[in-house]
Structures are given as structure tokens and as C-alpha cells.
Homo-oligomer: A and B are copies of this chain.
Amino acid sequence: MKAISENDRIFIKQAIDLATDNVRNGGGPFGAVICKDGKVLATGVNRVTDNNDPTAHAEVQAIRSACSQLHSFDLSGCTLYTSCEPCPMCLGAIYWAHLDRVVYAATQDDAASVNFDDSFIYREIAKPMALRNIPFERFDDPKGLEPFIAWKECESRTEY
């Protein structure tokens, strides 16, 4: 694990300032910055309510913007700075984007104190499906594997 550097301090402060400014602009209290080679590549702020998009968390917005800048779905070599510990959705997005490293300021508990309770979702993930608050039901359709068979047979597929 890398030690916190002077650059880290600058970028995490920027993520926090974005979060505070976003509240003044009608958004949620979250901000994120993605850097590569010590330079800011993209930023994001929470726009869930303004955009009517429950996936528009700061981290997801920053990942989408950084990928757009790089014309790539792969952010290897990049660091994400976020004003708050990522929720499970953003954690998943971070893994799919192959970011190198995540630095965050406020914790899950801090977020829960203002009613952003993603610890609930972390607990739900750990439960067997049948015990989850939202029912997840499998329907074993005989066609269920057809998309994967088509994928394996598709010579022009782009793996990721």
C-alpha cells in the first residue's frame, strides 16, 4: 500500500471541495476526482436527484467521464479520490474499471449519520438471496445460456 503523498492531499481536498460545492448546486454531498500520472483526468459529483439517475454517484460519474476522456473502458494506472468511502455499487464500478487505487476521506459511518446508509446494502450483499430485503428469484429458463453460447461463438467479441 502506498503512503499518502502530497499529491494525494491535494486531490482528496479537491474531491471534498467538489462535494461541498455540489450541495450548494442542488446535488448530494459527494465528490470524486480521477488522476493519472499526477494529473486530474476527470471529476464527478452526485447528481442522483437532479438527473433522476440513481446510479449517478460521484465515483460513477468520474469513472464515466475518465473513460470518455481516454476512449477506453479500462482505467488501469489511475487513482480515484473520493470524498467518502464508496458504496457497493461504486465499489463494483471501481473493479470493473480496473482502477489502481482508491483514496477516500469520510467513512460509511459518517455517511450514515446524514442518512446515506450504504452499510445496509453491504449487509444485504452478504445475505443469502432468500433473506434479502429485495427478492432475487432465479427462473431457470431453458434459453438461459443462449447469450453465452452466442458470445463464445462470436469471433469479433471484445473481451473485458
B88 near A54 with CB under 8 A, answer: no
B93 near A54 with CB under 8 A, answer: yes
Q: Which residues does chain B contribute within 8 Å of A55, judged by CB atoms?
A: 55, 60, 63-64, 93, 96-97
Per-residue interface assignment for chain A, residues 3 to 33, with 1 indicating a CB less than 8 Å from any chain B CB and 0 otherwise: 0100011001100110110111010111100
Per-residue interface assignment for chain A, residues 113 to 150, with 1 indicating a CB less than 8 Å from any chain B CB and 0 otherwise: 11100101110111000100011111111011111101
A20 near B146 with CB under 8 A, answer: yes
- Chain A residues near B (Cβ < 8 Å): 1-2, 4, 8-9, 12-13, 16-17, 19-20, 22-24, 26, 28-31, 48-49, 51-55, 60, 63-64, 67-68, 70-75, 83-107, 110-111, 113-115, 118, 120-122, 124-126, 130, 134-141, 143-148, 150-152, 154, 156-160
